[in-house]
Structure 1
Amino acid sequence: MNEMEDRWLSITEICKYLGVSNDTVYKWIDRHAMPAHRMGRLWKFKKSQVDAWIESGGAAKLGPGAGKP
């Protein structure tokens, strides 16, 4: 069971896990150093790294109105 938790997650899976859109995740990668790894054309994520990034305030650095065009 632990192997499943440690596998690489796709963009769709990490979006579902976090409850945000693809666009939000791409912005976090580009502007807020969200931990992500490029494998060819695809982005992959380790749940433990993303959790640590969130806990350290990575997602909170967005401020009011973030994510709005």
Structure 2
Amino acid sequence: MLRRLKLFWQIVRRLSGDDAYERYLEHYAMHHQADPDHAHCQPLSKKEFFKQWQEEKWRGVKRCC
């Protein structure tokens, strides 16, 4: 029962985007940290990540009014 509840909670977090920063850090570790071209770069902070995410999400929004 507890396992199902944890799985459900993970799905809710994924759908809502609540786990986006954790997924970003996993992606960064797998693809960029080992890359010599990005070895000098640090991952974005949580605040920087969400600021960039919001800017990308709302850039170019066209309204009818």
TM-score, with length taken from structure 1: 0.23
Higher normalized contact order (CA 8 Å, seq sep 6+, divided by chain length): 1
Which structure shows the bigger proportion of residues in helix conformation? 2
TM-score, with length taken from structure 2: 0.23
Structure with larger Rg: 2
Which structure shows the bigger proportion of residues in strand conformation? 1
